Amino acid sequence: MDRRKFLINTSVATLAATSLAAKPLSLVSDNEKQNNQAFYLDDNFLFNEITIDQLQEMMKSGKTTSKAVTKLYLDRINAFDKKGPAINAVIEINPDALAIAEKMDMERKSGKIRSKMHGIPVLIKDNIDTADKMMTTAGATALIGNYAKEDAFIVEKLREAGAVLLGKTNLSEWANFRSTRSTSGWSSRGGQTRMPYILDRNPSGSSAGTGAAVAANFCAIGIGTETDGSIISPSSINGLVGIKPTVGLLSRSGIIPISATQDTAGPMGRTVKDAAIFLGILAGVDAQDAITLESKGKVKTDYTLNLSKDGLKGRRIGVEKSFFKRRNEDVIAIFKEALEKIKELGATIVEVDLNSKINAATGDSEFEVLQYEFKDGVNNYLAKANAKVKTLADVIAFNNEHKETAMPYFKQETLISSNLKGDLADKTYLEAVEKSTMSRKIISDMLKENNLDAICGISNGASGCIDVINGDYGTGFSFSGPAATAGYPHITLPMGMLHELPVGISFIADAYQEEEIIKIAYAFEQNTLHRKAPKFIVSAIPKFK
């Protein structure tokens, strides 16, 4: 029997002491490191790759408790996040996590089960307010000390569902809206998050910490946020399923904003079903976020209904053909193999050219919109927050006064350019919004004219190296833009591996069509099973002869 299956079928309490057995990187000799050899941990964690359903079954049968599960995840974070491979994904631990888990166990004993998330440990991104003993800082030292007065709406939903909030994850500072040459996964408060597959690679962002933590099995599932690519990219890079829902499906109140037009939170998990379970928990109408009123009557309480391995049969899938002309032939080969599988599973493939149509129509209008809305949103958030800075101008001044700690590698030109913008009544802003959101009509028309259920593409290429000096460099592939500017749903999931690095495939559709792309993604996942657990390899550099 597989070791992990054996452990899962045995009492958790008696195995807690051995479930973290691993070979620490400190045992790798200097000679081995100098020879540029790749090494990885012998990782036998009890809950590696475990699903929400499996955890629920274990708690239901009495094989474990939420408190025991939570303790093991906290022990793993302690062993792997700051020590061992030092992923540095978790920016703060919730001191109340075990107490919450114990309460959920007591409710379970009394016969009360709140939801499918009852007693399940979760990590969330550090730009989401929690009215507890944890700060909300967006990774910025300027916001240290910001203890929220109220939970974000989605945190209220999380707590109502009985989930256990383990802590908060690191992110690209200000959700990657600080500099044009920033390094994803780095923040002045949290430092650099590392990618668990190969440790010198970038976990992508801005939801870098959530992506790395879920991939490294620090929790059952996590929450990220996206304006453009910040759920999809780190999910793809870290071998996860990420869902960027329709803007309006999930509330943004209590989340440090970038864009009222494009911002949304979303689940990041290791399986399609897990992500779908969490999406249904988090969705809902919030009086404090007017755009959620548009989702009334469109929200599903359960996005896992009618999932089937046959979910691609009879589907018509558009394929973004511009990816076939990109540089990395290995990534393209993985994509082509995925498309062959999609056809084999009964879908019809239709080539489309979505990226070029949207780029031609929208130009650089998106960045214009984001700068205006960032200034407006951050000023409104800070005015009510417990932070020592009360405006975006205050943040800029703080960073200038604390350059050595706040800006040791890259600066804040995006903060500055945003602060120079006018208000949301400016003609320039209104014209930019109209132009940027033309992507909605382009996507909807393309789906309708070609009778498509979804459009697919390469989510991202394989992860690049961490470079705090020069900043991020592109992988040559990205499919986040169209759905991001439109505010339409987007799901990514693994479609293969390239030299130990995950590569993801994306499916996008019309507004509030989450259920349909989840069905499509589930069918692809269950017929391919491409998700691989990370090996915590030290370096991708091979040994040269």
Which tokens in the block code for residue 108?
A: 């379970």
CA 247 to chain centre: 16
Mean of the per-residue pLDDT values for the chain? 93
pTM, full prediction: 0.94
DSSP output for 211-242: HHHHHTTSSSEEEEEESSSTTHHHHHHTT-EE
Look at residue 21 and tell me if it is in a domain.
Answer: no
Query: Is 308 known to be catalytic?
Result: no
Q: What's the CA gap between 46 and 77, in Å, rounded?
A: 13
Number of other residues whose CB lies within 10 A of the CB of residue 306: 11
Contact 193, 208 (CB under 8 A): yes
Contact 544, 49 (CB under 8 A): no
Look at residue 8 and tell me if it is in a domain.
Answer: no
pLDDT at position 197 is 97
Strand partners, 457: 506
Going 144 to 150 to 152 to 155, the CA torsion angle's sign is positive
Contact 238, 197 (CB under 8 A): yes
pLDDT at position 510 is 98
Among 19, 37, 24, smallest CA distance to 85 is for 24
Strand partners, 493: 505
CA 121 to chain centre: 16
pLDDT at position 16 is 41
Helices (H), 84-137: 97-109
CA 15 to chain centre: 31
Residue at 495: amino acid letter: M
> Where does residue 42 rank: exposed (0-12), middle (13-18), buried (19+ CB within 10 A)?
exposed
| Tens digits of residue pLDDT in 307-361 | 999 999 999 999 999 999 988 999 999 999 999 999 999 999 999 999 999 999 9
Among 326, 201, 279, 199, smallest CA distance to 491 is for 279
Query: Is 296 known to be catalytic?
Result: no
Look at residue 541 and tell me if it is in a domain.
Answer: no
Look at residue 11 and tell me if it is in a domain.
Answer: no
Give the pLDDT means over successive 10-residue stretches in the chain (545 positions): 41 40 45 48 87 98 98 96 94 98 98 98 98 98 98 98 98 98 97 97 98 98 98 98 98 98 98 98 97 96 96 98 94 98 98 96 97 98 98 98 97 98 98 98 98 98 95 91 98 97 98 98 98 91 62
Tally of CA atoms within 13 A in the half-sphere of 201 that contains its CB: 28
Kind and range of the H or E element at 349? strand 348-352
pLDDT at position 475 is 86
Whose structure tokens read 């006064």? 401
Look at residue 16 and tell me if it is in a domain.
Answer: no
pLDDT at position 33 is 47
User: Beta 348-352 vs 191-192: how paired, if at all?
Assistant: unpaired
Q: What's the CA gap between 126 and 137, in Å, rounded?
A: 6
pLDDT at position 30 is 56
pLDDT at position 158 is 98
Among 62, 72, 141, 217, smallest CA distance to 399 is for 141
Task: Name the residue range of residue 164's domain.
Answer: 47-528
Which tokens in the block code for residue 147?
A: 């203890």
DSSP output for 155-172: HHHHHHTT-EEEEEE--S
Q: What's the CA gap between 123 and 180, in Å, rounded?
A: 28
pLDDT at position 7 is 40
Which tokens in the block code for residue 511?
A: 């507004």
pLDDT at position 540 is 72
Residue at 479: amino acid letter: F
Kind and range of the H or E element at 267? strand 264-269
Look at residue 42 and tell me if it is in a domain.
Answer: no
State the Cα torsion 255-256-258-262 to the nearest 10°: 0
Contact 282, 224 (CB under 8 A): no
pLDDT at position 209 is 98
Residue 518: which CATH number?
3.90.1300.10
Q: Structurally, how many domains does the chain consist of?
A: 1
Look at residue 23 and tell me if it is in a domain.
Answer: no
With a pLDDT cut of 70, the percent of the chain lying above it is 92
Q: What's the CA gap between 407 and 160, in Å, rounded?
A: 39
Which of 67, 71, 116, 125 is catalytic? The answer is 125
Q: What angle do CA 184, 185, 190 make, to 5 degrees?
A: 140
Backbone Cα Rg of the chain:
22
> How many residues does this entry show for the chain?
545
Q: What's the CA gap between 212 and 208, in Å, rounded?
A: 6
pLDDT at position 24 is 44
Look at residue 198 and tell me if it is in a domain.
Answer: yes
Query: Is 356 known to be catalytic?
Result: no
pLDDT at position 373 is 98
Which of 66, 206, 233, 253 is catalytic? The answer is 206
Q: What's the CA gap between 221 and 215, in Å, rounded?
A: 9
